[in-house]
Amino acid sequence: MLTIKDIARLANVSVSTVSRVLNDRPDVSEESRRRVRAVIEEHHFIPSNTARDLVRVNPDTIGLIVRGMQNPFYTDIILAIESALEHAGYTMVMRQIGFSDNEIEAGAVMQREKKLRGIIFLGGRSDYSPEELARVSVPYVLCSYTNACGTLDKSAYSSVSICDEDAARDAVEQLIESGHRRIAALVAGTDDSTISQLRYEGYCRALREHNIPLREELVFTTGDSFAIEDAYHAMDEALTRTTDFTALFAIADDMAIGAMRALREHGRAIPDDCSVIAIDGIAVSEYIHPMLATFCQPKTELGTKSVELLLDMIEGRGGHRQVILPTTFRAGASIRSI
Amino acid sequence: MLTIKDIARLANVSVSTVSRVLNDRPDVSEESRRRVRAVIEEHHFIPSNTARDLVRVNPDTIGLIVRGMQNPFYTDIILAIESALEHAGYTMVMRQIGFSDNEIEAGAVMQREKKLRGIIFLGGRSDYSPEELARVSVPYVLCSYTNACGTLDKSAYSSVSICDEDAARDAVEQLIESGHRRIAALVAGTDDSTISQLRYEGYCRALREHNIPLREELVFTTGDSFAIEDAYHAMDEALTRTTDFTALFAIADDMAIGAMRALREHGRAIPDDCSVIAIDGIAVSEYIHPMLATFCQPKTELGTKSVELLLDMIEGRGGHRQVILPTTFRAGASIRSI
């Protein structure tokens, strides 16, 4: 294990410069920052904090790492996880990371700093290698994400999620059954190894099953964000290029709400000019106008089941499992039959 | 300090019954539950957990107690608090309580169980007595709520909030300036010692300043809830009694969105038949149709400033302060001049 002194030597900078980089201080030259980061990355160094390291192991502490906390869909899941852990006598420590952050890195750091017993990853990506995942040495559960398209064998991880691909296929099928064939999709990315990719694949499958050719110009992406404002901007931009669709499948309720504003601003009434459907079932989507048709995830159960799996592993009652929970269709006024 | 055995003896029940009551298990008779609770209340007993008590003091752990976690307004504040604490080398442990729970009780229990250094209360009530508040012996900050209408002297507590009464007055004044005089209010309660009461008082002040008589039949309450579904139901019910208003002031964005659905379902178009304004500025209210006019709270700053005040106290840099942050008006299409 490297010390800060080793890093300073390898990066050819002072110890205080390393410390400033580790603490994300602005008073460091870009060149020094780059050199320190290169050494850190090369050696998989995890910053240590003397004061924190003196605290003993916390036998009851579980970490929750949330990717993209602002996602309103997570609120009820976090509530359920916190309650279930509390009820079982554990303490939840939460850390929020950005859409493009590395959660395995965050988990490895948090595990060490907070002396965790286990980790629940909420949201996330699946393209980590077994070597990367091995850096997290405590039990962990992937919540609202299954590693199905990742590189791990089913015997090597635990997850609780819906079947994202099926839910997306079902959502697009609702549109097809209402007579739509020119169906656009609003996704984060199509190959980003997140639920966005899984839901995009469900969209493609529904089209394929109904012999509707996939038209790439009708697939709108935000980049890597699930945020409402980015969905709005992506849709706003897309509508300057094409309006040749009668329905939109958005991979998340919040993104659908952002898209609906862009549609209205471009003079496209919902559902008269464009039907909209999504997946998630957040509270507010039942109150907007028109009410959003969506496939609801069992939010509370996603949280409680994740805790159950994690505690089974920690307390020696069970090994790895992948739990798939069902979604429920909630009809809305955002779909019109044509 | 009482032990569980003492409580069992005083309540004249078995030790296992006391344990079941403490763990909120259903398999206890109402009579036993009542007796155990009476003893606990009389003696201010705080349940102990042997395993947890063996953990040493956590010098870096800060508790966050959130009243009504589902409130989307809190998401960004929690994010800001977590980031600021993390940056300063502290660990945040969060607990969520219901709208009608006692947060001081929750704080006292959490302080002991988690060996906290300090507490941030997010949301909350102000009618606790100095004796009750004394049960929390670590430094604490009231975030998004000031104890101004409570029983504490300003030298005895710290808070970071907007001026809720002014924000409500300003919101109602926007409606009055647009020609409205028959203005309804949707609140949680009018005398519940929460921000609802403060905002209700701002509503009354605006009417008074413009010589508009307060009409009690135009004040709609949910009881104690700020939840979107309860706002919807309260508004739905109110509209069966009266429609004699041209504008609605809702004390929170989320409640306004619930109310807007009820208005539409009762055939009242927004803003043509009823203008709507609120306070908070949650993300989604900028995307709904029509866009909601609202007074935005500085969410990130509420969080970071709360952490700053708390750490100043913990680390000996300062005593009690009350910080009032400004709101920003965001225009929307939900208001019509008449």
Task: Domains for chain A: give ranges and CATH numbers.
Answer: 4-45 (1.10.260.40), 53-163+299-328 (3.40.50.2300), 164-296 (3.40.50.2300)
Smallest Cα–Cα separation from B160: which of B10, B301, B27? B301
pLDDT digits (tens, 9 = 90+) for B137-195: 899 999 998 776 567 778 888 999 999 999 999 999 999 999 999 999 999 999 988 89
Whether A270 contacts A263, CB under 8 Å: yes
Q: In terms of pLDDT, which residue wins out, B36 or B184?
A: B184
Q: Does A315 touch chain B (CB under 8 A)?
A: no
Distance from CA of B170 to the nearest CA of A (A): 26
Determine the pLDDT at residue B13: 85
Q: Using CB atoms, which residue from A92, A260, A289 is nearest to B94? A: A92
Determine the pLDDT at residue A209: 98
Single-letter code of the amino acid located at B258: G
What residues in chain A have per-residue pLDDT under 70? 1-3, 23-26, 43-58, 69, 148-151
Dump strand ranges (E) for chain A: 61-67, 91-97, 118-122, 140-143, 158-162, 183-187, 219-221, 247-250, 275-280, 293-296, 322-325, 328-330
The 8-class DSSP code of residue A97 comes to E
Whether A283 contacts A218, CB under 8 Å: no
Q: In terms of pLDDT, which residue wins out, B51 or B305?
A: B305
Q: Does A75 touch chain B (CB under 8 A)?
A: yes
Is the link from the previous residue into B290 a cis peptide, with omega within 30 of 0?
Answer: yes
Contacts of B47 in chain A (CB under 8 A): none
Q: Does B57 touch chain A (CB under 8 A)?
A: no
Determine the pLDDT at residue B149: 56
| 8 Å CB contact of B75 and A82 | no
Q: Using CB atoms, which residue from A70, A93, A264 is nearest to B92? A: A93
Provide the pLDDT confidence category of residue B24 given band limits of 50, 70 and 90. Answer: low
pLDDT digits (tens, 9 = 90+) for B41-84: 776 655 544 333 333 446 789 999 998 767 788 888 998 999 99
The 8-class DSSP code of residue A242 comes to -
3-state secondary structure of A294: strand
User: Could you tell me what percentage of chain A is helix, strand and coil, using 3-state DSSP and rounding each to the nearest 5?
Assistant: 45, 15, 40
The 8-class DSSP code of residue B149 comes to G
**Sole residue written with tokens 């390291």:** A53
Determine the pLDDT at residue B148: 67
Contacts of A114 in chain B (CB under 8 A): 91
| 8 Å CB contact of B78 and A72 | no
Is the link from the previous residue into B271 a cis peptide, with omega within 30 of 0?
Answer: yes
Distance from CA of A254 to the nearest CA of B (A): 8
Q: Using CB atoms, which residue from A70, A114, A283 is nearest to B91? A: A114
Q: Does A299 touch chain B (CB under 8 A)?
A: no
Interface A–B counts its CB contacts (< 8 A) at 104
Most confident range (mean pLDDT) of A56-70, B21-35, B230-244, B314-328 is B230-244
Q: Does A60 touch chain B (CB under 8 A)?
A: yes
Distance from CA of A228 to the nearest CA of B (A): 7
Contact partners, residue B274, CB within 8 Å, separation at least 6:
B245, B246, B247, B248, B263, B268
pLDDT digits (tens, 9 = 90+) for B235-256: 999 999 999 999 999 999 999 9
| 8 Å CB contact of A70 and B79 | yes
Smallest Cα–Cα separation from B174: which of B56, B58, B75, B294? B294
Mean pLDDT of B3-30: 77
Q: Does A190 touch chain B (CB under 8 A)?
A: no
Q: In chain A, which residue's Cα lies nearest the Cα of B283?
A: A228
Say how far apart CA B216 and CA B67 lie, in whole Å.
Answer: 28
Determine the pLDDT at residue B32: 85
Which of A61, A91, A92, A273 has the most B C-beta neighbours within 10 Å, making it the best mutation to test the interface with B? A91
Single-letter code of the amino acid located at B182: R
pLDDT digits (tens, 9 = 90+) for B105-118: 899 988 988 889 99
Q: Does A264 touch chain B (CB under 8 A)?
A: yes
3-state secondary structure of B306: helix
Which of B23, B91, B99, B229 has the most A C-beta neighbours within 10 Å, making it the best mutation to test the interface with A? B91
| 8 Å CB contact of B55 and A60 | yes
The helix-helix angle for B4-11 and B30-43 (nearest 10°) equals 120
Determine the pLDDT at residue B114: 84
| 8 Å CB contact of A69 and B83 | no
Whether B168 contacts B330, CB under 8 Å: no
| 8 Å CB contact of B94 and A94 | yes
pLDDT digits (tens, 9 = 90+) for B262-292: 999 999 999 999 999 999 999 999 999 999 9
Q: Using CB atoms, which residue from B95, B228, B260 is nearest to A86? A: B95
Mean pLDDT of B196-211: 97
